[in-house]
Chains A and B, each alone.
Chain A
Amino acid sequence: AQSVTQLGSHVSVSEGALVLLRCNYSSSVPPYLFWYVQYPNQGLQLLLKYTSAATLVKGINGFEAEFKKSETSFHLTKPSAHMSDAAEYFCAVTKPPPTGNQFYFGTGTSLTVIP
């Protein structure tokens, strides 16, 4: 069975400060991992993904995440928060193709950026 756990349902950071959103996964096979962002009243948009290539993955809007197998983690970071980063962030896990039909989402982390 696969699952992800996002620690911290709400995270607040000051503008310009480091953003760190935590995600730990559980998977019986080498996983594919994703971070999605949801802005208010919008659908989910892919930020970045890990698909068993480089363990440090760079995404859009200056975000990156590092796959750490020993810690079963895939934490999302951004060196300097911007007001426009305020949104809901979801971590997700799936199996690699061709069996990756089922995506398991975490419960989400709401990021607030304080001016």
Chain B
Amino acid sequence: DTAVSQTPKYLVTQMGNDKSIKCEQNLGHDTMYWYKQDSKKFLKIMFSYNNKELIINETVPNRFSPKSPDKAHLNLHINSLELGDSAVYFCASSQTSIHTGELFFGEGSRLTVL
């Protein structure tokens, strides 16, 4: 039973298109995140939601819009895709109110923009 699941795992699309990535966690965590990993493996936080409320919004183009319908789901919609958006996008979750608080990651969604 997957703890943090993302769909789709692979996305290949043309420049200018719009795409969405979905994420669900069944751990009962209160916080969810989107990270972008570039070709050099560098991990950059994009957004964080705590109990459906946006708490971290790093310098990300407005073309990226997260949506959290409930605390178990955090989706990422990207408008007008650009070549530079090609990356692996990771969803993660954590329980920030307890002692351990580590991040649990999904398997990643590899986006390729042609």
B96–A97 touching, CB < 8 Å:
yes
Is B97 positioned at the interface, with any CB of A under 8 Å from its CB? yes
Interface pick from A12-20, A61-69, A75-83, A98-106? A98-106
Partner pick for B99 among A41, A44, A97, A108, CB 8 A cutoff: A97
Band of interface residues on B: 20 to 34
How many chain A residues touch B (CB < 8 A): the figure is 28
Question: Do A102 and B56 contact each other (CB < 8 Å), given the known contacts A90-B43, A107-B42?
Answer: yes
Contacts of A32 in B (CB 8 A): 101
Contacts of A108 in B (CB 8 A): 41-43
A44–B90 touching, CB < 8 Å:
yes
Contact residues of B between 62 and 105, Cβ < 8 Å to A = 90, 92, 94, 96-105
Is B15 positioned at the interface, with any CB of A under 8 Å from its CB? no
- Nearest-neighbour CB distance to chain B for A44, whole angstroms, equals 4
Partner pick for A51 among B55, B96, B100, B104, CB 8 A cutoff: B100
